[in-house]
Structure 1
Amino acid sequence: MTPSTFAPERPETIFTYASPALKFGLGARHELAYEVASLGARRVLVVTDPGVRAGGRVDEIAERVRAAGIETVVFDGVRVEPTDESLERAVAFARAEGPFDAVLAIGGGSSIDTAKAVNLLLTNDGELMDYVNLPVGRGRAPERALLPLIAVPTTTGTGSESTTICVLDVIAQQVKTGISHALLRPTLAVVDPELTVTQPAGVTAASGMDILCHALESYTARPYVSYEHKEPAERVPYCGANPISDAWSERAMSLLAGAFRTAVREGDNLAARERMALAATFAGLGFGNAGVHIPHANAYPIAGRVGPFAPDGYPVDPHADHGLVPHGMAVSMTAPAAFRFTFEAAPERHLRAAALLAPDTARPSEAREVLPSVITALMRDVGLPSGLAELGFGTGDTEALVEGTLKQQRLLATAPREITPEDVADIYRRSAELW
């Protein structure tokens, strides 16, 4: 990919790559007591949500850890799609019950992201909004090392076990944003595909679209050479598309092509679940370094401003003042239009991605429509909503959605084309009805 729309005076010549240690495979959860003990931890905080704990696996893991002589405290109050308020409750619990030597997150991206915030504020001074990205929060960087964090995903999608990002809704501002710093990356990811078998079809579909968009966005992100050269201390985790992130993203797309529809239809198909877990891990290793861009930037205001929408397979929060759009679903809503917009920055990458995702599918005659058509067909096949209108958004919401997107400059800076407010508005308009 050539940096066609960017001309830095002194192009970057260096990219960075980082990842957690990884343990992957059927039954990997049974080795968690060994991993925790290997850290030298004597007292551990387990972070999870009520639904995951109700399945019994959390207490099974906690008992194995206790049997190794390690005191274990469980916090099961994670909110699906965390808010600033839910994170503050988790932090208050951890501060009251601490100190701890390590943190163990068991659950989907919501549990892992909550554990990241808890870990940050157990080890560093200040409050949550001090560390939330600018301009929503104050963008402060942590000054002290965090505790070891082991992430055990029970869904296949977020990639949070690989990344430096904690995502949250800021209720007062009606926007989803995040905290981003290299110190938030988990120490170890333990990925056991057996933990995902009970994932409902709706959750598999939404989180699978998150995998897809992670891979696509990092694959089509600005190349690292399109940035101005930075000094070592100035480099951020999202450094742009690079040869290593490209390899992970391509492999994630190939795995999705053969497993995604099957995993949604046949939840107990272990082979499909294992491929989806690998795809999620690989996509996380890719975008956790290259970055994501327009679909993720749009997803934050979509999730933050939704009305009473209730997705299949997700718990209903009786205390919430609005509905729920799962992150992967929110990301996918504008993906077809976003990749139509970015096509001209790297046509060969968009066509290559489409070929990886749907190698045997007939193609539209217009090249820029090829990838959007593949994404749309996949969304329809796995049962996602047909566009923003089905989520309850109308033309009157466009201005507020655009405003929310423009707050995500950290993500928009990774887009392969410079994007204006009118471009964002056009993407939203084109995403009202996808089929």
Structure 2
Amino acid sequence: MAAIRVAPTRAQRAVKLLRTINSGTSSCPCHSNPAHHHHGPVNPFAGRKRSLATPVDMSQQKEYAFEMAASSIRFGPGVTKEVGMDFKNMGAKKVMVVTDGTVQKLDAMKQVQEGLEREGIPYEVYSKSRVEPKDYSIREAIDFAKPYQPDAFLAVGGGSVIDTAKLMNLYTTFPEAEFLDFVNAPLGKGKPITAKLKPLIAVPTTAGTGSETTGTAIFDLVDKKAKTGIAHRNLKPTLGICDPINTRTMPSAVHASSGLDVLCHSLESWTAIPYNERVPRPTNPINRPAYQGANPISDIFSLQALRDTIKYLPRAVKDPDDWEAQSKMLLAATLAGVGFGNAGVHLCHGMSYPISSQNPGYQHSGYLVDSPIIPHGVSVAVTAPAVFRFTGASNPERHLQAAECFGVDISNVKKESAGEVLSEALANFLVGLGDQPRGLKALGFNNGHVNGLVEGTIPQARVLMLAPNLDTSGGQEEREQLTGLFEEAMEY
């Protein structure tokens, strides 16, 4: 009698398929060759027979995963008044409120103080945060916070205030740590943050940094003449309260410069190397950097932030009473924060840090401070036309898609022209904003400053490693590339 053949069940067929894929014998080129598709390996070991005992050099292994982290966000006009209830819901007993001398006089601070008092939450105010913080101003803030021993933090202000609060939180949680322990390598030791920090609520009063969503805090390391910072997911605020009413007090110059930061956040994270091209693959997930490279989720946030910035920033700068434009720019800053907070930024930011810290004496109009200042948004945007001309060949499709956001008709543009086209669109946009320095010369730099700017950029490995087309070996090739970029950025 002939044997009766029983058709395999759906589950059995699925198991067989998975075994075939993982065995490396599949005839499908996608599964038998992990590098076949650009989106990276499905199985990092498929198609390779090796002993489990064979050591693998992880420093040469490309990343295979990405991780998304962002603060909880509450967005809406008037939500600032809810902050007292938030701390009560957390069970907070001692809140350290962090702000600066200007914001301390504004309605945003009045709203948070009334909210805390209404709920009976004890608090103390630190109001000496510095715009574009220095390491010594951060240390002063930490020294203020430690004796108070708060169990929660509240930051009310721009990115500088929020970054200062993040670091106050970090070093009161780790009171025995040395200051450089967590600072990004190679300027610091780059240690991971191994414990949860205290709750931190951030109330941004500018529409630019996106610091209310990210685990990054930036400051000047004065003795090194370089800007650096600390980046880890555990630094991110617990909650960002994004209230468009709080940005109404921004002067036009602050609207412009903070909006330029949003512009570069979105463009850099959109064009950063893909996450699965980054090396090394971490040996432990705690070592996976916050800045991971462009990934499918960050792309969504970055591209929308770019579109909104192009549409609404000129309106917000032209008319401070344009309520819709101001609200949309605050939302764009938050969207870009989620995008770059996970994908990272690259050359505009890496080059901006020595531009700010080596300021030859430039004082940006509209900033009421008692010392020379190049606002962060200005320092990143001033190199952008040169940067995106340089990176265009790395991914012409992405650069052309970005140019299209500026209104460029890309239907007949050749791929090899992508960088040039985006650079020109970006320069035209910056000129159209009005009253923006058109290159490093307008900030007081000349070719004699280039070597110092290059040497101040080299240590920014955390962001440079995400820069397309850049040699990041720290050798002569990298220096020559950066020299060319700074020389080209002298004027546009």
User: TM-score range with shorter-chain normalisation?
Assistant: over 0.9
Write the deviation string for residues 254-281 of structure 1: whole angstroms up to 9, x where unpaired: 1112201000011111100111011101
| Structure 1: distance between partners of 2:347 and 2:312 | 26
Write the deviation string for residues 86-108 of structure 1: whole angstroms up to 9, x where unpaired: 11111111113x11111000000
Aligned partner of 1:241 in structure 2 is 294
Which protein is bigger by CA-based radius of gyration? 2
1:357: Cα distance to partner?
A: 3.0
1:358: Cα distance to partner?
A: 2.9
Q: Which is further off, 366-375 or 271-280? A: 366-375
Q: Which is further off, 175-184 or 59-68? A: 59-68
1:363: Cα distance to partner?
A: 9.8
2:153 pairs, out of 90, 97, 103, with 103
Other structure's SS at 1:139 match: coil
Matched, 1:391 2:449: no
Q: Please, which runs of 5 or more residues in structure 2 have no aligned partner?
A: 1-36, 41-58, 472-477
TM-score (norm 2): 0.83
RCO comparison, higher one (Cα < 8 Å, 6+): 1
Identical residues among aligned pairs (%): 42
Aligned partner of 1:49 in structure 2 is 100
Aligned partner of 1:254 in structure 2 is 307
Matched, 1:429 2:481: no
1:31: Cα distance to partner?
A: 1.2
Paired AA for residue 179 in structure 2:
L
Other structure's SS at 1:65 match: helix
Matched, 1:191 2:242: yes
Matched, 1:314 2:367: yes
Cα RMSD between the aligned structures?
A: 2.0
1:367: Cα distance to partner?
A: 3.3
Matched, 1:330 2:379: yes
| Structure 2: distance between partners of 1:358 and 1:36 | 45
Q: Which is further off, 410-419 or 117-126? A: 410-419
Report if the CA contact (8 A) 1:221-1:416 is conserved: yes
Aligned partner of 1:123 in structure 2 is 173
| Structure 2: distance between partners of 1:81 and 1:12 | 33
| Structure 1: distance between partners of 2:381 and 2:422 | 13
Paired AA for residue 119 in structure 2:
A
Report if the CA contact (8 A) 1:203-1:312 is conserved: no
Other structure's SS at 1:140 match: coil
Write the deviation string for residues 111-142 of structure 1: whole angstroms up to 9, x where unpaired: 00000110001110223223221222222333
1:304: Cα distance to partner?
A: 0.3
Paired AA for residue 36 in structure 1:
F
Other structure's SS at 2:74 match: strand
Report if the CA contact (8 A) 2:96-2:152 is conserved: yes
| Structure 1: distance between partners of 2:38 and 2:469 | 11
2:133 pairs, out of 79, 82, 95, with 82
| Structure 2: distance between partners of 1:350 and 1:110 | 30
Report if the CA contact (8 A) 1:239-1:290 is conserved: yes
1:150 pairs, out of 197, 201, 207, with 201
Report if the CA contact (8 A) 2:80-2:108 is conserved: no
* Shift in alpha-carbon separation, 1:306–1:290, aligned structure 2, 3 A: same
Other structure's SS at 1:38 match: helix
Q: Please, which runs of 5 or more residues in structure 1 have no aligned partner?
A: none
* Shift in alpha-carbon separation, 1:55–1:240, aligned structure 2, 3 A: same
| Structure 1: distance between partners of 2:64 and 2:352 | 31
| Structure 1: distance between partners of 2:61 and 2:458 | 27
Write the deviation string for residues 325-357 of structure 1: whole angstroms up to 9, x where unpaired: 111110111111111111000001011011113
